[in-house]
Structure 1
Amino acid sequence: MTTALTTPGTPGTTALPAGEALLWPWWSQQAADTVRLLLEEGDMAAAGAGHPLIDACEELAADVLAPGRLVMLCDSGTAALETAYAALGLEAGSEVLVASHSFRSTVTAMLPHGLVPVLCDTDPATGGIDIADAAARLSPRTAALTITHTWGRPVPLDAVSRFCARHHLALVADCSHAHGLAWRGRPVGCTGDVTVWSCGTWKTVSGGKAGVLATGHRDVWERALVLSQPKHRALARVRDERLRALARTGAGHNRRPSPVAAVLVADHLRRLPHTLATKNERQTAVEQLLARHLPALAPLPQHIDRTAGALYKWHWRTPATHFPEAVVAALRAAGVRAALPARPLHEEPLFTDPRLAAAMGWHVPLPEAGSFPGTARLLDGLVELDTRDAYQPLPDGDADPYDHALAAAAEQLAARPERDTPTTTEGTPL
């Protein structure tokens, strides 16, 4: 599927076949023109004390994502996560509580710094970490807790913050699916000791490959600068004399962003309110069509305390009479961008084969079988839609392509014997 650098209706938009939606991401004509100027100038290093486009993007990210916090742009969300774990200054061997239902980098980014992930169960009602289960896994070595607002569904921040304060834990928040998300009126980027966003691939705010780190602690921010930014940039901002001395050599990492990525991220940040409103509007319309054509499928409910933002991906629960693989196959055959959600971390080889982590010099505890029932309940029977076709409103008078697609999927499923042999998303028997 083709994507374009400029928004629909502006010069330079790539033509799409009839009936096909423009898939996110795309950027404005102004962003395209700025990128073109950068290419003509030929300076992509951004190795000096500052770069006006990167500085402007960081200021905008602070305003939009984490008001009142210190913000730093990195070259990826994973780089921002690894920098965050290192900048907290946790001792090697410290344990970090993290939900077994989380993106892989949320966990793997801590391993190079000698931190030990302790997988916890998932609250199936929120999709976030189960605080009661996390409490049962505390040890004298526990030093931090990491939350992930997976799929754009907020973790209850009040309970998490109280838990971390009670047990003197650092709080890391991965908001890579949560651009513009708010919990009870407060941006999720304003909670936690350090917060990160991925701004890569087809995230709601994307620079192609970029990440954002935010913190309310000056010392964490300065350590992050020394760990990840060019010497001159760190020296221009760091006050601590010991860190300034270290900044002269750096810490062996080069995670500075490209000015091109800064231009693209800033472009999406400026249009974020419009993007979120469009996605919410499309979600409402599609769920109404789902209720008409496939009433047995139920969207996962929204948390009542989410007061801003939009879902990064949509999830529908299949009834007990259907295999989710069969539902995915029918949706895909009808043109819907559906798949099964990724499996939880405790099923990945890193957590089931101790030889793998040992070969890298990491300590990854093996999870106990059957110890994540909440994660299993959350993922049971789910189908996932990537929503990349939900970033533009329908033109006035145009039929909703989901209307025909969901009707076709319903017809295919109706002709299928209930609970027969499941198939893969390509339609072959499992």
Structure 2
Amino acid sequence: MALTTLTTAPAPQGLRGGGPLWPWWSREAHLAVGRLLQSGDMAAAGAGHPQIDTCEELAARILAPGRRVMLCDSGTGALEAAYAALRLEPGSDVLVASHSFRATATAMLGQGLRPVLCDADAASGGIDLDDAAARLTPRTVALTVTHTWGRPVPLDAVRHFCGRHGLALVADCSHAHGLAWRGRPAGLTGDVSVFSLGTWKMVSGGKAGLLATADRAVWERALALSQPKHRALARVRDERLRALAATGAGHNRRPTPVAAVLVADHLRRLPQTLAAKTARQQAVEALLASRLPALTPLPAPAGRTGGALYKWHWRTDAADAPVERVVRALRAAGIRAGTPARPLHELPLFADPHLAPALGLDVPPAAPDSFPGTARLLAGLVEIDTRDMYAPLPAGVPDPYDRALSTAAAHLANSRTREPEDR
């Protein structure tokens, strides 16, 4: 098939009459992927590759200015490389928020590190540093923070905490593409910062990740431990690491050129994407306040001066409108709604003290009642999928959320009147 006949398949639609479901890519990206397929060069095993090199240059400029970056096959792979490159002693403790994605904690297990779960600050959703301080031991060597849902952690307080206790700082920025705290990009948070560039992230290559650091030694170790021989040897100066790179260390975390093309496409238009999403969310937020006053949005993230919310949450009064009933009403109206993922301390790996040892893993069991901040944060939360809010509505087109939210409000009112019969 000639490239000139390639067409860009339309993205799946979200709410009827609304925007397409993210992610989608430009026609130029589709054409570039077509050229790659025709070339047959999917390995990217050489010292350099134009698509990957270009993507890394863009990422360094847009996500982590002034940092050295390394594109990986996934965000989890980037986290694994980060924990390895920091040379943390096996058996050491790493403090990590219980309110985070599972890979934030599990990616360290291959290095023999112990994830020590900490409570969340109920107001911000970030790690509770007072609780983290209470969980410090002589074996604690690092702290991992997550800008969950696109809500930034207070960088000054986190840096001060790590400096006072001599801890390495790892930042999981997988929800933080384009996010800034008091003017500072989230990618500059940690000694090592990591982005997921997969699934439905605001910058997505389908499956990819990024490691960013200001420390050349950490960057070189990450390259030698995880990248193809020729690519690592072209960048690594340390002679011992060059000897290691000649064989590798059992890992192959290189990305595909296709992923690099898709990520670069999103990076080039990230400011426009963030602006469009923020505008759509503000419009829908006003409709929600009018149509469903039983829902109140989480407060705006403190200190955020750039970016957009990756996931969107509203709190409901459990007595007047229980979460399950609200979710059913929203879904019945065609709105993609649900509840947040369970916190880490409720998952079997951390809740069952017999599971990790059976797998040869050293995971401190988490007492279920020792995370009250996380419980308060998640109580009564409704999660509304924002994947159909990445594009502005065409001029003159009624907002489909107006009708859908009115329908949801009617469903909710009807469910209240039926409640006595349901009992």
Aligned length: 414
What amino acid is the match of 2:312?
Answer: W
Question: Once the 2 structures are TM-superposed, how far is the Cα of residue 323 of structure 1 from its aligned partner?
Answer: 1.2
Question: Once the 2 structures are TM-superposed, how far is the Cα of residue 14 of structure 1 from its aligned partner?
Answer: 2.6
What amino acid is the match of 2:297?
Answer: P
Please state whether the residue corresponding to 1:126 is helix, strand or coil. coil
Residue 355 of structure 2 corresponds to 356
| Structure 2 portions without partners, runs of 5+ | 1-5
Contact 2:344/2:350 (<8 A) preserved: yes
So what's the TM-score if we normalise by structure 1? Answer: 0.94
For the pair 1:379 / 2:378, whether they are aligned, the reply is yes
1:5-48 CA-to-partner distances (Å, cap 9, x unmatched) read xxxxx953438676353100000111111100000000100000
| Mapping of residues 106-145 of structure 1, within 5 Å | 106-145=104-143
Residue 35 of structure 2 corresponds to 37
Using CA pairs under 8 Å that are at least 6 residues apart, name the structure with larger relative contact order, 1 or 2: 2
CA distance in 2, matches of 1:419, 1:242: 72
Please state whether the residue corresponding to 2:234 is helix, strand or coil. helix
1:318-370 CA-to-partner distances (Å, cap 9, x unmatched) read 11322101101100110111011111110000011122211221111111231
CA distance in 2, matches of 1:384, 1:403: 18
Dislocated runs of 4+, deviation >3 Å? 15-18, 418-421
Residue 329 of structure 1 corresponds to 328
Please state whether the residue corresponding to 2:396 is helix, strand or coil. coil
Q: Percent identity of the aligned residues?
A: 72
For the pair 1:164 / 2:168, whether they are aligned, the reply is no
Question: Once the 2 structures are TM-superposed, how far is the Cα of residue 304 of structure 1 from its aligned partner?
Answer: 3.4
Contact 1:84/1:224 (<8 A) preserved: yes
What amino acid is the match of 2:108?
Answer: M
Contact 1:226/1:250 (<8 A) preserved: yes
Residue 3 of structure 2 corresponds to none
CA distance in 2, matches of 1:258, 1:328: 38
1:56-89 CA-to-partner distances (Å, cap 9, x unmatched) read 1001000000000000000100000111011100
What amino acid is the match of 1:368?
Answer: A
How large is the RMSD of aligned CA atoms in angstroms? 1.7
Contact 1:57/1:262 (<8 A) preserved: yes
Residue 103 of structure 1 corresponds to 101
What amino acid is the match of 1:377?
Answer: R
Please state whether the residue corresponding to 1:298 is helix, strand or coil. strand
Residue 409 of structure 1 corresponds to 408
So what's the TM-score if we normalise by structure 2? Answer: 0.95
What amino acid is the match of 1:279?
Answer: K
Please state whether the residue corresponding to 2:361 is helix, strand or coil. coil
Contact 2:19/2:393 (<8 A) preserved: no
Question: Once the 2 structures are TM-superposed, how far is the Cα of residue 245 of structure 1 from its aligned partner?
Answer: 0.7
Contact 1:175/1:196 (<8 A) preserved: yes
Question: Once the 2 structures are TM-superposed, how far is the Cα of residue 211 of structure 1 from its aligned partner?
Answer: 0.3
Please state whether the residue corresponding to 2:258 is helix, strand or coil. helix
Shift of the 420–240 alpha-carbon distance from structure 1 to 2, 3 Å rule, reads farther
| Mapping of residues 335-350 of structure 1, within 5 Å | 335-350=334-349
CA distance in 2, matches of 1:357, 1:247: 32
CA distance in 2, matches of 1:265, 1:241: 32
Shift of the 15–200 alpha-carbon distance from structure 1 to 2, 3 Å rule, reads closer
For the pair 1:246 / 2:261, whether they are aligned, the reply is no
Residue 178 of structure 1 corresponds to 176
CA distance in 2, matches of 1:405, 1:360: 47
What amino acid is the match of 1:380?
Answer: A
1:370-415 CA-to-partner distances (Å, cap 9, x unmatched) read 1100000000000101200000100000011110111111111112
Decide which of 50, 58, 67 is 2:56's aligned counterpart: 58
For the pair 1:14 / 2:6, whether they are aligned, the reply is no
Shift of the 54–195 alpha-carbon distance from structure 1 to 2, 3 Å rule, reads same
Question: Once the 2 structures are TM-superposed, how far is the Cα of residue 420 of structure 1 from its aligned partner?
Answer: 4.9
CA distance in 2, matches of 1:155, 1:12: 38
Please state whether the residue corresponding to 1:55 is helix, strand or coil. helix
Residue 370 of structure 1 corresponds to 369
Please state whether the residue corresponding to 1:416 is helix, strand or coil. helix
Residue 152 of structure 2 corresponds to 154
Shift of the 419–152 alpha-carbon distance from structure 1 to 2, 3 Å rule, reads farther
Residue 46 of structure 2 corresponds to 48
Shift of the 419–206 alpha-carbon distance from structure 1 to 2, 3 Å rule, reads farther
CA distance in 1, matches of 2:217, 2:200: 32
Contact 1:322/1:419 (<8 A) preserved: no
Contact 2:11/2:22 (<8 A) preserved: no
For the pair 1:205 / 2:217, whether they are aligned, the reply is no
For the pair 1:279 / 2:277, whether they are aligned, the reply is yes
